[in-house]
Amino acid sequence: MLKRKKILVVVLLVISLVFFIHYINLFLSNKGYEQYHSHRLMNNISTLTHSLLDNQEIYEEIVSTEVLTKEQVERIHNNTYVIYNFYEDYSSLAALIRGFKKDGPSTSSAASTIEAVFNRIMTYQEVVNLDENF
């Protein structure tokens, strides 16, 4: 009887040790994923911020000079691509973890609309002088 108790205690200790090691491995693995995604998010937010600020600078330049150039449209196009991808990636992630609903207009759809209008205007021209109608 005493031998059975010792065997049971040893078996329980081994099982406990296995669960403890598994928990530690899981914790370290999750910590690695958290660090990876934190760095990725910081880089993506930095890129998004740069794109938004660059677009703001371009829009202010367009308004002050009343001229729209092909180069400006290309920069807006590139920035819009970044904004749209950021929105899609992170809204999908948020929906996946049930923290977000895609309702109403978004910054990415507004940026896409502006970029599409500018692209249509610049189809056959290098520079467009803006007037009151525009």
What is the pLDDT at residue 34? 75
CB contact burial 95-131 (16+ within 10 A = b; e otherwise): eeeeeeeeeeeeebeebbeebeebeeebeeeeebeee
pLDDT digits (tens, 9 = 90+) for 106-122: 666 777 777 777 777 77
Residue, of 126 and 105, whose pLDDT is higher: 126
pLDDT over threshold 70, residue 100: no
Where in the sequence is the domain holding 81, given as residue range(s)? 2-129
Fill in the DSSP letter of residue 128: E
pLDDT surpasses 60 at 94: yes
Classify residue 106: in a domain, yes or no: yes
Helices (H) and strands (E) in the chain, counts: 3, 2
pLDDT of residue 102: 61
Residue 134 belongs to some domain of the structure:
no
Determine the pLDDT at residue 115.
Answer: 78
Residue 93 confidence (pLDDT) above 80: no
Let me know if residue 110 belongs to a domain: yes
Mean pLDDT of 85-110: 71
Mean pLDDT of 86-113: 71
User: In terms of pLDDT, which residue wins out, 85 or 57?
Assistant: 57
The count of domains in the chain is 1
Query: Tens digits of per-residue pLDDT, 13-69?
Result: 989 898 888 888 888 777 777 777 788 888 989 999 999 999 999 999 998 998 888
